[in-house]
Structure 1
Amino acid sequence: MSAAQRDPLRAVFARHLPRLLLTVLLLWTTMLAGTALLGLSGGFLTAAALAGAAGLGSGFNFFSPSAGIRGLTMARIVSRYFEKLVGHDVTLRIARDARVWFFRRALPLAPARLGSTRTGELLARLLGDIAEVDGLFVRALGPLCALAALSLVAIGSAWLILPQAAALLAAMAVLVGVGVPWLGVRGRAGEERDRAAHRTQLRNLSFEGIEGAADLAALDALDHWQGRVEVAARQLRARDRRRRWRLLAGTTLHGVVTGGGLLGMLALALSSHEQGRVDAPMAAGLVFLTVAMIELWAGLGLAWQALQSGQVSVSRLQAIVDQPPMVSEAASPQPLPTAAEAVCWEGVSFAWKDGGRSVLDGVDLLLQPGRRIAIRGDSGSGKTTLSSLLLRLHDPTSGRVTHGGTDICHYAQDDWHRQLAWLPQHAPVFAGSVSDNLRLGDPHASDARLWAVLERVRLGDWARAVGGLQGWVGENGATLSAGQARRLALARALLREAPILILDEPTEGLDVDAAHALLADLSALLDGRSLLVITHDPLPAGVVDQVYRLQGGRLHAVEPG
């Protein structure tokens, strides 16, 4: 059984099944109390009106029905309160766990699989679709189950009074509970998917417009982008309007059916009373029971629509997380060597598509323990691909990457990743404190160790100036210079104390002085680690032991510098 099969979305709901069942029970109790209250009140008022003033003093049972009315009123209030309390609690719990589930399933797909999905699209799945899913039980399945159970109770109660009334109530339940909603949602799954796609498109445009606002302003393209957002908003609004009209049509049809059914029940109750088959209070109770059920059935359209929207959202979430990972976990992982070992690319070739152009073509490379190697080349030459194979974000099309003679695909991925410290080209700096950013490298690092690594990357004075380890760092390093941001990310990588350090374009975006100052410090920071530098810029002398140029998918040794 695969990991995906062991971790389905329904397991999130199963984890909260007791609370979900309690919510349905409380909802059913609230509906039952309200229905019984209306039926009892109608019968009681009818009996009181027929009894008159004389009847109230001679044999008319006033106290039992009134006590029942008060009891049902209190029961309805209490069950309604706890139904809302438990329902909102379980919805929030499911929302939390559904997001954790989505992250747990999606993160192993990053960056290889998720790299082809727009950030706005992922946000739409994370926010919009999970918002539809987390209330799926409480807004759709719960009310539908409670109404179905209550309808059976109402039909059974009507049968005890008048079988013909029970038959009419059953016919109404089938028409209103199944027929009308079925007409409303029949063939509408495609429209719901289209609406979800347009909602995602609007989120994409809004998010990307905010992220790229500075570039859009510089290019004088803000008006054009806002026009695209407005078009997307109008398209979504049109689909929302169509959805509301569909709901309105269903509500109208619901009103016609329930109105006809109520008239039929009134006529049946009157004729049965005239024929002596049922007394007046019971006849009135049947009519008021029908009114109560009609009021409850009014929410069926929304419940069915919520069910359909939730199903579409579930399929959209599954479409993301059910993608197969680019690399698979070893069935029987081998233990890693305890001593530092050489990493070797042996005849490695790689193509992004089967039969496509090879980015790497028979690459052979040896990275000995403590050795420092740089890979240079033009943009798109495959430098980052070479490092991604070491990170095991992908597996070679042919050839292999070994560590101590063992193919790294035979190691558990978590074990192998602990051997690597990676400074990516666009290393993120997160909104939070200095220590929050650093402890991503080692969550258990002491404050003394954090200060030591800050001093080593020449950020000690800066950290003290911003308030120490609790000093605030803006999102994407907004409060740092480019050089400070790269040094902070480097400090985070160094905290891992992994034997192999990978730097992907470490001087990207830095001026020449900042770049050379950062590179000049590298040799003193490595502490005997192996170093693989991916860069398109020349390196100062002494930074690395060997430089290779990647061209045409092959490596060519060049002089350092």
Structure 2
Amino acid sequence: MSAPHSDRLRTVFLRHRAGLLLTVLLLWTTMLAGTALLGLSGGFLTASALAGAAGLGSGFNFFTPSAGIRGLTMARIASRYFEKLVGHDVTLRIARDARVWFFRRALPLAPGRLGGTRTGELLARLLGDIAEVDGLWVRALAPLMALGAMGVVAIASAWLILPEAAALLAAAALLVGVGVPWLGVHGRGAEERDRAEHRTRLRNLSFEGIEGAADLAALDALDHWQGRVDVAARQLRARDRRRRWRLVSSTALHGLLTGATLLSMLLLALSAHGQGRIDAPLAAGLVFLTVALIELWAGLGLAWQSLQSGRVAVARLHGIVDQPPMVDEPVQPQPVPTVAATLQWEQVRFAWPADARNVLDGIDLTLAPGQRIAIRGDSGSGKTTLSSLLLRLHDPGSGRITHGGVDLRAYAQEDWHRQIAWLPQHAPVFAGSVAGNLRLGDPGASDEVLWAMLERVRLGDWARAVGGLQGWVGENGATLSAGQARRLALARALLRGSPILVLDEPTEGLDVDTAHALLRDLPVLLEGRSLLMITHDALPEGVVDVVYRLQDGKLFVD
């Protein structure tokens, strides 16, 4: 399913169209001022040389061209400054908004659709492809548009002086501005995609090697992995070299054509002057006009190549975010009840697309307001699938899950997710402050509320020891023990204030004493919330009201 027209990547650029168009205008003004400056200077110097000292003292118009040269110089400096200022400002704004757009479109696909995409692949999209898109306007579109407008002005100016010169410039513009770049990029889309895929492969290997460095070292596989990284780097380097040679070849052909254009213009201007059709200053002006255009055309190859790379990057980004969601939003969502209501699984069946076997086969389950239940079972028995259906990461193949008698599919996902606080099996602890981690659960929570929650989960002493709410928490909880990280993640979930708490393997990786201490605290911490706990461990007495076992897709009271 494609994205709605209102949320395509082009809307990010349209949002900044005023700044983008102003960038083009300023760039065109810079080009125009530079070209006019060179043409006027060439004509003025030629006229001065021909007039000689006697002419300069007897009525030669010295001041008007001099004033024009000074004015064009100042105009070029000013337009160049503001073009850089506006161009960089709008590029940074697009960089910000493009990343927000990508996250907004990609996050609803997690974890279902994005579960099959490697983390390194997503990083490649976020870092490499969006970086290509960031500069698409200032590196490709703006220069091409400004050069096109500049070419029209230059050809029109040449026409007023000598029509044959205008025809020569028009032919050169087509050859140099369209023909040579077309030869350079024609049929190269597959090569650009291949280059992007190899760049992604290198990032994948590098990222996964860093993430799994400890395991690779334990397996004595670091050298093997480094070899794979080196091979990927050499393959990418070969493609980069091929791309550079393509650009060099285009540049060489560009140089031959522009040299021929300049020589032809020189011969044409001398011939026209010899025939008395134009005077010497205008003939010189045509030659210098051609020199100025050749200088501007020098960046055409790079602009066209940036345009092609940007188009490939846009396609790759949309390849991620245009995937259809795992569940559909209702056309007219119903409001979620504001009072606590009963959850019911009614003859729920579910099978993964690649598996004909039902992971859940006719599940009936009731979770009353304030009730605490646990689902036990072996790995792969479908426990996490049961909770993912409650979270509406997927929908049942048959049967339904209701809340207060209303099918969950009738609620907007955003509204329904507000009713649930979820502590996944590998709940992350983010690099940042203690407060920053906690306020992910409640952005508006005061310091007093955060301290109260830390005390409730028995992390008050730890927080004071690490510097209070502004104490630093290492990436992935590197500065915390497993039990502390789990309690911090639980505190964050409890701060949501949602009436339903879902815990997926809350004691995974904890020793028995730490796990039991955490579980015994749960009944008090919940404060009347409903609890669905997924676990394979035995539970201490009093933690939950009832324990079920999931086996062969069916639930049994344990």
Say if 2:326 is the partner of 1:326. yes
For 1:39-54, what aligned pairs fall within 5 Å after superposition?
A: 39-54=39-54
1:303-346 Cα shifts (integer Å, max 9, x gaps): 10010000000001111111111111121111222322111111
Deviation of 1:3 after TM superposition, in Å, equals 6.6
Residue of structure 1 in register with 2:133 after alignment: 133
How many Å separate the matches in 1 of 2:548 and 2:110?
28
**Does the residue aligned with 2:443 lie in a helix, a strand or coil?**
coil
**Does the residue aligned with 1:344 lie in a helix, a strand or coil?**
strand
Deviation of 1:59 after TM superposition, in Å, equals 2.3
How many Å separate the matches in 2 of 1:5 and 1:158?
43
Residue of structure 2 in register with 1:360 after alignment: 360
Residue of structure 1 in register with 2:303 after alignment: 303
**Does the residue aligned with 2:133 lie in a helix, a strand or coil?**
helix
Deviation of 1:277 after TM superposition, in Å, equals 0.8
For 1:361-440, what aligned pairs fall within 5 Å after superposition?
A: 361-440=361-440
How many Å separate the matches in 1 of 2:434 and 2:3?
36
Deviation of 1:434 after TM superposition, in Å, equals 1.1
Residue of structure 1 in register with 2:479 after alignment: 479
Say if 2:149 is the partner of 1:149. yes
Residue of structure 2 in register with 1:223 after alignment: 223
RMSD: 1.3
Residue of structure 2 in register with 1:294 after alignment: 294
1:451-499 Cα shifts (integer Å, max 9, x gaps): 1111111111111111111111111111110000001111111112211
Residue of structure 1 in register with 2:4 after alignment: 4
Amino acid at match of 1:309: S
How many Å separate the matches in 2 of 1:4 and 1:164?
50
Say if 2:36 is the partner of 1:36. yes
For 1:439-450, what aligned pairs fall within 5 Å after superposition?
A: 439-450=439-450
Q: Is the 8 A contact 1:4 1:322 kept in 2?
A: no
Say if 2:234 is the partner of 1:199. no
TM-score normalised to the size of structure 2? 0.98
How many Å separate the matches in 2 of 1:55 and 1:423?
90
Say if 2:255 is the partner of 1:255. yes
- Please say which of residues 30-39 and 353-362 is displaced more in the overlay: 353-362
Residue of structure 2 in register with 1:532 after alignment: 532
Amino acid at match of 2:418: R
Say if 2:283 is the partner of 1:283. yes
Amino acid at match of 1:62: F
Question: Which 4+ residue blocks in structure 1 deviate beyond 6 angstroms?
Answer: none
Amino acid at match of 2:96: R
1:71-124 Cα shifts (integer Å, max 9, x gaps): 111111111111111111110010001001111111111111111111111111
Q: CA, structure 1 residues 3+154, in 2 after alignment: closer, same or farther (shift >3 Å)?
A: closer
Q: Give the total of aligned pairs.
A: 558
Q: Is the 8 A contact 2:2 2:323 kept in 1?
A: no
Amino acid at match of 2:413: Q
TM-score normalised to the size of structure 1? 0.98
Amino acid at match of 1:186: H
Deviation of 1:46 after TM superposition, in Å, equals 1.1
Q: Is the 8 A contact 1:384 1:504 kept in 2?
A: yes
Q: Is the 8 A contact 1:181 1:301 kept in 2?
A: yes
Residue of structure 2 in register with 1:89 after alignment: 89
**Does the residue aligned with 2:4 lie in a helix, a strand or coil?**
helix
Residue of structure 1 in register with 2:212 after alignment: 212
How many Å separate the matches in 2 of 1:472 and 1:271?
78
Amino acid at match of 2:372: R
Amino acid at match of 2:525: L
Residue of structure 2 in register with 1:68 after alignment: 68
Deviation of 1:355 after TM superposition, in Å, equals 6.6
1:183-213 Cα shifts (integer Å, max 9, x gaps): 1100001111111111111111111111111
For 1:100-115, what aligned pairs fall within 5 Å after superposition?
A: 100-115=100-115
Q: CA, structure 1 residues 483+355, in 2 after alignment: closer, same or farther (shift >3 Å)?
A: closer
Residue of structure 2 in register with 1:503 after alignment: 503
Amino acid at match of 1:273: H
How many Å separate the matches in 2 of 1:101 and 1:405?
36
Amino acid at match of 2:176: V
Deviation of 1:289 after TM superposition, in Å, equals 0.6
Amino acid at match of 1:433: S
Q: Is the 8 A contact 1:272 1:278 kept in 2?
A: yes
Q: Is the 8 A contact 1:4 1:105 kept in 2?
A: no
Amino acid at match of 1:132: E
Residue of structure 2 in register with 1:518 after alignment: 518
**Does the residue aligned with 2:187 lie in a helix, a strand or coil?**
coil
Which sections of structure 1, spanning at least 5 residues, go unmatched? none
Q: CA, structure 1 residues 355+434, in 2 after alignment: closer, same or farther (shift >3 Å)?
A: closer
Say if 2:434 is the partner of 1:453. no
- Please say which of residues 506-515 and 491-500 is displaced more in the overlay: 491-500
**Percent identity at matched positions?**
81
Deviation of 1:546 after TM superposition, in Å, equals 1.4
Amino acid at match of 2:208: E
Residue of structure 1 in register with 2:345 after alignment: 345
**Does the residue aligned with 1:358 lie in a helix, a strand or coil?**
coil
Residue of structure 2 in register with 1:117 after alignment: 117
1:256-304 Cα shifts (integer Å, max 9, x gaps): 1111111111111111111111111111111111111011011110110
Residue of structure 2 in register with 1:245 after alignment: 245
**Does the residue aligned with 1:357 lie in a helix, a strand or coil?**
coil
Deviation of 1:4 after TM superposition, in Å, equals 3.4
Amino acid at match of 1:373: I
Q: Is the 8 A contact 2:343 2:404 kept in 1?
A: yes
Amino acid at match of 1:346: E
How many Å separate the matches in 2 of 1:265 and 1:471?
71
How many Å separate the matches in 1 of 2:386 and 2:325?
19
Deviation of 1:398 after TM superposition, in Å, equals 0.9
How many Å separate the matches in 2 of 1:347 and 1:204?
42
